[in-house]
Amino acid sequence: MQRLLVTGGAGFIGSNFVHYALENTDSHVTVLDKLTYAGNRESLKGLPEERFTFVEGDIADAGTVDPLVSESDIVVHYAAESHNDNSLHDPRPFLDTNIIGTYTLIEAARKHSKRFHHISTDEVYGDLELNDPERFTEQTPYNPSSPYSSTKAGSDLLVRAWVRSFGLQATISNCSNNYGPYQHVEKFIPRQITNVIDGIRPKLYGKGENVRDWIHANDHSSAVLTIIAKGKIGETYLIGADGEKNNKDVVELILKHMGQAPDAYDHVVDRPGHDLRYAIDSSKLRNELGWEPQFSNFDAGIEDTIAWYRDNEDWWRPQKAATEAKYKEQGQ
How much is the CA Rg of the chain, to the nearest whole Å?
A: 19
pLDDT at 324 over 90: no
Q: What is the DSSP letter of 122?
A: G
- Condensed to tens digits (0 to 9), the pLDDT of residues 36-61 reads 988 999 999 999 999 999 999 999 99
Give me the helices (H) in the chain, please. 12-24, 62-70, 84-89, 92-94, 102-111, 147-166, 188-197, 217-230, 247-257, 283-289, 298-311, 313-329
pLDDT at 83 over 80: no
Mean pLDDT of 279-291: 97
To the nearest 10°, the Cα dihedral for 137, 207, 81, 182?
Answer: -100
CB 209 within 8 A of CB 248: yes
Mean pLDDT of 310-316: 97
- Condensed to tens digits (0 to 9), the pLDDT of residues 162-199 reads 999 999 999 999 999 999 999 999 999 999 999 999 99
- Condensed to tens digits (0 to 9), the pLDDT of residues 207-259 reads 999 999 999 999 999 999 999 999 999 999 999 999 999 999 999 999 999 99
- Say which range, 19-33, 60-74, 149-163, 195-209, has the weakest mean pLDDT: 195-209
Mean pLDDT over each residue of the chain, to the nearest integer: 95
CA 295 to chain CA centroid, Å, is 17
Reported pTM: 0.93
Residues forming the active site = 122-123, 148
Q: How confident is the model at residue 85 (pLDDT cuts 50, 70, 90)?
A: confident
Q: What is the pLDDT of residue 60?
A: 98
Q: How confident is the model at residue 269 (pLDDT cuts 50, 70, 90)?
A: confident
pLDDT at 273 over 80: no
